[in-house]
Chains A and B, each alone.
Chain A
Amino acid sequence: MTTTWKKDYNSTAIENREDLNYLADGHTLKSWLLTTDHKRIALLYLFSITLFFALGGFAAVIFRLELLTPQSDLVDPETYNRLFSLHGIVMVFLFLIPSIPAVFGNFMIPLMIGAKDLAFPKINLASWYLYMIGGFLILLAIFWGGVDTGWTFYTPFSSLFSNSEVVVAVFGAFIAGFSSIFTALNFIVTIHKLRAPGLTWWRLPLFVWANYATSIIIVLATPVVAITLVLMVIERISPIGVFNPWKGGDPVLFQHLFWFYSHPAVYIMVLPAMGVVSECIACFSRRRVFGYTFVAMSSLAIAFIGFFVWGHHLFVSSQSPYAGLIFSLLSMLVAVPSAVKVFNWMATLYKGSISYAAPMLYALSFIGLFALGGLTGIFVATLAIDVHVHDTYFVVAHFHYIMVGGTLSAYFAALHYWWPKMFGRRYPEGWAQLSAMIVFIGFNLTFFPQFILGYNGMPRRYAIYAPEYQVGNVLSTAGASILAVGLIAPLIYLLWSLRYGEESGPNPWHATGLEWMSASPPITHNFQETPIVNEDAYAYEKKEVPRE
């Protein structure tokens, strides 16, 4: 390695405070709640995101149980509406959007670029507090009965007719949006200004490129949903008539504005995941990523094109068919850069020296499940097909393949890949590999039947369904129970590893990348001396690996 540094990071003798790892550097509650250390903030996020994920998952458990039978016997339809709305709101705004950037972006980006922190550490802390306030408001809304509008809050139901806690929930989402924006601002300026000497843009790890593209989307799209939600709430508390048909307003305008954010939002969810996959595929095939430039540029291309496709959510609204035509065409286009990534990953794997640690299993899982989900995206992007499958379980399966099969898998890949770096401990590999496989099986059993159910006409968001759909639903719920086991297991063995796991050196995976040059766990300021970089990313050919 031609990166230089001056101290021996494996030395355990602590000469002065600057050599303390970030976990040991302060034990009071205040040192955590008022920290400006990006690594501690990442852990604050990890903790709260896990809680919210559990909440969203719990709602899913209940309604999946309800869906075992065609009748609404476990919960009544009104409650069912509130459950799937809770699931969507919590999973989208409090888990999928922040997860990888707020936990792994926060932790790893400064390390990966050789910086001592992000550009704006206090804004970083503020973003976590905003997340918590937004999350708290959403919890409050749930506590007071929740909302029954779905996470999409379509008007005029949400603004005029719904008797539920729309205002509080939407206000929570609004505040959480600011959390997102602050994180994105931080990342963009950090990546521009704080790269170590020699670390040119074309030497950046693809995870950094991915977060950069994601941050651009966040900055440009989130404010639009902010103003949309503001207008909708104003309409709810004082009849402003912006989206009220009786006052000349157009409910479809709400949909335009809402999806202008919410479609790029799905790229916010998936781009960082793709960045994680690039890191893992490279490391566990011991190869540089094939077509690095194309993969980097495809992140930007997805971000860019992703802004122009939102109308495909409005195919069956009263949007004009000509607009629908344009959006359908553009939606086909956005698949291209995604495919570029998939092909480049395959080429990276080809003739690589592949090993199957848990992060790799999750990353490989991502590629397959994302490809499948993405291909079904082409189905729904085709206007004529979407007329048939819109608001059915086909769409539900499509986006869960990408969100769960894709983003969640990558989240777990990242969690396992960087766990030794974050905590200085190795998790039990056997259990992790087993869990990854359980997740894969459970996931497919849960969601594949839903493609068939949807194609055969089962509508989404229905507590009561026609009896012919029961078999598919039973399979799906069975899968969900397996999936739940696979998702809970890491909680147990990862926590176990904090105490009893084997201690990890700085670079247990023998990976390239500046983050592996710091100690595990890193010292508070990451590096004693700013590293200097004079080679490209993923220089695996030059790396000697002492095989264990």
Chain B
Amino acid sequence: MKTVGDKFSEKEEISTKAQWLVYFILLALLVITVGVAYIPLGQFNLIFAITVALIKAALVVWYFMHLRETQRLIGIFFGSSVFMLAVAALLTFTDYFTRS
């Protein structure tokens, strides 16, 4: 009979050291994102801010939320919600972008 502890023998876990490291990377990314916001880069400002936010979110999801220890299919579900949101926004924008 499997207990919860059995899952650890199957995959190597994320150490607390790794989690602290990720934390400091997240803080660094926060500083960078605020700093870059003050540099005039035109359209790129927005893209940069969103990219950094996505990286931070990915780090939290992977290292803090242990997504890789969860069943692959559940990760696909979560990813599909992000995908669906993106498509919804995109299709809505086809309306707003093409209005005269």
Residues of A within 8 A of B (CB): 188, 192, 216, 219-220, 224, 252-253, 256, 260, 307-308, 310-311, 314, 318-323, 326-327
Contacts and interface: CB of A to CB of B under 8 A. Distances in A.
B28 interface: no
Contacts of B15: none
Interface string B73-100: 1000100110010011001101111111
A220 B84 contact: yes
Nearest to B71: A192
Given A307-B87, A307-B88, A318 B81 contact: no
Contacts of B84: 220, 307
B98 A320 contact: yes
The 5 residue pairs across chains A and B that have the minimum distance between CB atoms: A323-B95, A322-B98, A320-B98, A323-B94, A320-B99
Interface string B25-45: 000000000000000000000
Interface string B2-41: 0000000000000000000000000000000000000000
Contacts of B96: 320
Contacts of B71: 192
Q: Is the interface of A mostly helix, strand, loop or mixed?
A: helix
Contact of A323 (B77, B87, B88, B98): B98
Nearest to A217: B84
Contacts of A322: 94, 98
A396 B55 CA distance: 47
B73 to A, nearest CB: 7
Contacts of B100: 320
Given A192-B73, A224-B88, A260-B88, A311 B81 contact: no
Nearest to B88: A260
Contacts of B88: 224, 260, 307
Given A192-B73, A307-B87, A319 B81 contact: no
B96 to A, nearest CB: 8
Contacts of A307: 84, 87-88
A188 B80 CA distance: 14
B87 to A, nearest CB: 7
A311 B95 contact: yes
Contact of A256 (B92, B97, B99): B92
Contacts of B95: 252, 256, 311, 314, 319-320, 323
A197 to B, nearest CB: 15
Given A256-B92, A311-B91, A220 B99 contact: no
A256 to B, nearest CB: 5
A320 B94 CA distance: 8
A305 to B, nearest CB: 11
A319 B93 CA distance: 10
A327 B91 CA distance: 9
A231 to B, nearest CB: 15
Nearest to A252: B95
A307 B81 CA distance: 12
A339 to B, nearest CB: 24
Nearest to B93: A323
A220 B98 contact: no
Given A192-B71, A216-B80, A220-B81, 19 more contacts: A192-B73, A224-B88, A253-B92, A256-B95, A260-B88, A260-B92, A308-B87, A310-B91, A311-B91, A311-B95, A314-B95, A320-B97, A320-B98, A320-B99, A320-B100, A322-B94, A323-B91, A323-B94, A327-B91
Contacts of A219: 77, 81
Contacts of A319: 95
Contacts of A320: 94-100
30 contacts: A188-B77, A192-B71, A192-B73, A216-B77, A216-B80, A219-B77, A220-B81, A220-B84, A224-B88, A252-B95, A253-B92, A256-B92, A260-B88, A307-B87, A307-B88, A308-B91, A314-B95, A318-B99, A319-B95, A320-B94, A320-B96, A320-B97, A320-B98, A320-B99, A320-B100, A321-B98, A322-B94, A323-B95, A323-B98, A326-B91
B70 to A, nearest CB: 12
Contacts of B99: 318, 320
A119 to B, nearest CB: 13
Contacts of B98: 320-323
A25 B22 CA distance: 53
